[in-house]
Structure 1
Amino acid sequence: MIPHFSDLSANERTYLAWIRTAVSLMGFGFLIERFDVFLVYTTRGAVLDSGLHLRASEWLGLGMILLGAVLILLATRSFYRNARLIRAETESAYHGAAVERVLTALLVALALFLVAYVGYQLTNLH
């Protein structure tokens, strides 16, 4: 039997959840980066403020893709650190909520930006 198998398995499941989250962020970033195609299609060619519109979606999409890549690196570091701590014979304190807090703040900021961005685009279609 593998010592601490249930703890190591839980660590691996957590790691895979972070990887799924990162891949979702990168996919959503790609979708946002291409959001201009959707808006042009739904407005049937209405004239949009293309300078602001294209730049905002491109930068936000690129930022989400980079955030996903950084999240993969942080999750991998955390996975190996936790695996090492699980295998260690000594007890240590848990200290790992900072990444979750930063990610939550970034996702709330993203949601607020998207609400404002889509609202602005919809009100300027006239």
Structure 2
Amino acid sequence: MIKSYTDHAANERTFLAWLRTGVAVIAFGFLIDRFDLFVITMSNALSVQPEHRAELESMSSKLGHGTGLWFILVGIILIVAAMVRFVRTRALILDQEIHTAGFMMEFVLAVVLAALIVVASIPLLVSAL
């Protein structure tokens, strides 16, 4: 039996949850980045007036390219941070000394993701007004 098996299993589950979150953020970034294709397709299908179509295209491209890229980069950073956290926690589990729990990396990544969501929603709020 592996010594501290439950701790190692919990560390691996946490790592996999971080990976899932990173992949989901990357997928959301691709969705945002390619949202302009959806808008153009829908405007063609619904025969939108040309002036409204130009406004939709400009708004969707402004929202999509920059914000989508930032979500993709944050997702990649989440995956890298998950790997660093997994390896560090594994080393701490194997060490026999008592260590204090740290939450700084999780807190910083949560703040960055929340800020990115707020920044991404600003164009939607402005266009609604």
User: TM-score under structure 1 normalisation?
Assistant: 0.82
2:39–2:57: 8 Å Cα contact kept in structure 1? Answer: no
2:39–2:60: 8 Å Cα contact kept in structure 1? Answer: no
Query: Could you say if the C-alpha distance between residues 21 and 35 of structure 1 is closer, same or farther in structure 2, counting changes exceeding 3 Å?
Result: same
Q: Residue 88 of structure 2 aligns with which residue?
A: 81
Offset from partner CA, 1:87-114 (integer Å, 9 cap, x none): 111111111x222222322332233334
Larger fraction in helix: 2
Offset from partner CA, 1:9-32 (integer Å, 9 cap, x none): 000000000000000000000000
2:67–2:120: 8 Å Cα contact kept in structure 1? Answer: no
CA–CA separation in structure 2 for the residues paired with 1:37 and 1:119: 21
Tell me the percent identity.
34
Note the residue ranges of structure 2 that are not aligned, 5 or more in a row. Answer: none
Q: Residue 72 of structure 1 aligns with which residue?
A: 79
User: Counterpart amino acid of 2:91?
Assistant: R
Structure 1 SS opposite 2:54 = coil
User: RMSD over aligned Cα, in angstroms?
Assistant: 2.2
Note the residue ranges of structure 1 that are not aligned, 5 or more in a row. Answer: none
Shift of 1:60: 0.9
Structure 2 SS opposite 1:2 = coil
1:17-56 matches, cutoff 5 A: 17-43=17-43, 44=46, 45=48, 46-48=53-55, 50-51=57-58, 53-56=60-63
User: TM-score under structure 2 normalisation?
Assistant: 0.80
Q: Residue 118 of structure 2 aligns with which residue?
A: 112
Q: Residue 67 of structure 2 aligns with which residue?
A: 60
Query: Could you say if the C-alpha distance between residues 47 and 55 of structure 1 is closer, same or farther in structure 2, counting changes exceeding 3 Å?
Result: closer
Q: How many correspondences in the alignment?
A: 122
